[in-house]
Amino acid sequence: MRNATNLYLPYADWPEDDRTRWEAAFNAGADQFDDCGPAAHLAEPTRLTLLDDYARFLAFLSAHDVSLLARAPAARIERKIIESYVGWQPPSCGGVTIARILGSLRTTLRYICPGHDWSWISTIGNRIAAHATPKPEKHHLVTSETLYALGIELMDRATTKANATENISLACALDYRDGLMIALLALIPLRRRTLAALRIGRQLVRSGDHWALDIPARDIKTKRPLEYPISAELSGRIDLYLNQFRCRIPAARVHDYLWASKDGGPMLAKTIYATVRGRTREALGFPVNPHRFRRAAATLWSNRDPANVRGVKDLLGHASFNTTEKHYIMAQSRVAGRALARAVEAKRKGESF
């Protein structure tokens, strides 16, 4: 079975032509008077996703036929190569995921190899997605309160261990980091790319005695700036993370990203995804990915405060409530049906419900 780390070719190992083209296309310039690349307008999380997906394609070429890396990017790609690339993906990749990967590849090629028609790649991806077997919904009844409590538990466990040993180990630091991440997601369910892009003093800022998130439009999928106050309890825990735990993670001092990786540098979106799934699987018996935190928040709001449910739109950063309603608010018909059945049965027996 292919190791997940072999799915991506590190940027330093890319062919020089690819790196030169990437820098030219995605260069944002030092200020407004500098020349910018055609992809400079993209939000940083989008650029990181495109970079990851292109690194994935280069890793495939390296494994499939390393001699292809010596060719110009546009000269490597033909339908048979794309067919082999699709077959190279791990078994866990469904049709929708493969279609997204191909769409990302096409987007990157448009920027680094302009003047070519790459639309046929998207056409292949759309066909794959259309024939994909839909995955069955696995909506465990997980709530925002449960996820928040898990985050608090991880942080408290790390603090207890650190106090008992009078030393903050790397394991304790990672427990605390992951707990803080989960608790923050439970209260402010950001998209994972936006979560990965959080930087201390930039998106995470002081607001009086508390912390707040001030996220510019360029870091948001919908291009709408977002502001979120952070509760007093969680602000205190952020202080503890920044002052005591984060510095125990290797190379955390050399960058200002909130989430420091144990491998040095900031955590990437895909690493955050895997971390959150792993932690929730370990604690709950099933994985909860970052996107499901958004659904949990919308569902909680719709159940607890249905009169003001349209406020979910602003919490999730949607441009319209239609998106929120269509994709995020779960219609818990089974739960409601069981509650009604209990009420009817209690009424029939003359009992209070």
Q: What is the reported pLDDT for 313?
A: 45
| pLDDT tens digits along 65-95 | 999 999 999 999 999 999 999 999 988 788 8
Q: Are 132 and 95 in contact (CB under 8 A)?
A: yes
Terminal alpha carbon distance of the chain: 54
Among 4, 39, 28, which residue's Cα sits nearest to residue 275?
4
* 16, pLDDT greater than 60: yes
**DSSP E strands, the chain:** 204-207, 210-215, 226-229
200 SS3 class = strand
* 352, pLDDT greater than 60: no
* 243, pLDDT greater than 90: yes
pLDDT band at 343 (very low <50, low <70, confident <90, very high): very low
| pLDDT tens digits along 127-169 | 998 888 766 555 456 777 888 889 999 999 999 999 988 889 9
Q: What is the reported pLDDT for 42?
A: 83
Task: Please tell me the distance from the alpha carbon of residue 221 to that of residue 215, in angstroms, as a whole number.
Answer: 11
Task: Please tell me the distance from the alpha carbon of residue 196 to that of residue 47, in angstroms, as a whole number.
Answer: 12
Among 317, 190, 177, which residue's Cα sits nearest to residue 257?
177
Cα-based torsion angle of the residue sequence 152, 154, 160, 163 in order, rounded to the nearest 10 degrees: -100
| pLDDT tens digits along 186-200 | 888 888 888 998 999
Which DSSP category does 259 fall into?
Answer: S
Task: Please tell me the distance from the alpha carbon of residue 262 to that of residue 251, in angstroms, as a whole number.
Answer: 8
User: What is the enclosing helix (H) or strand (E) of 205?
Assistant: strand 204-207
Give the chain's domains with CATH numbers: 4-130 (no CATH), 144-289 (1.10.443.10)
Sheet-wide strand order for 226-229: 204-207, 210-215, 226-229
Residue type, 44: E
Task: Please tell me the distance from the alpha carbon of residue 249 to that of residue 78, in angstroms, as a whole number.
Answer: 44
* 103, pLDDT greater than 60: yes
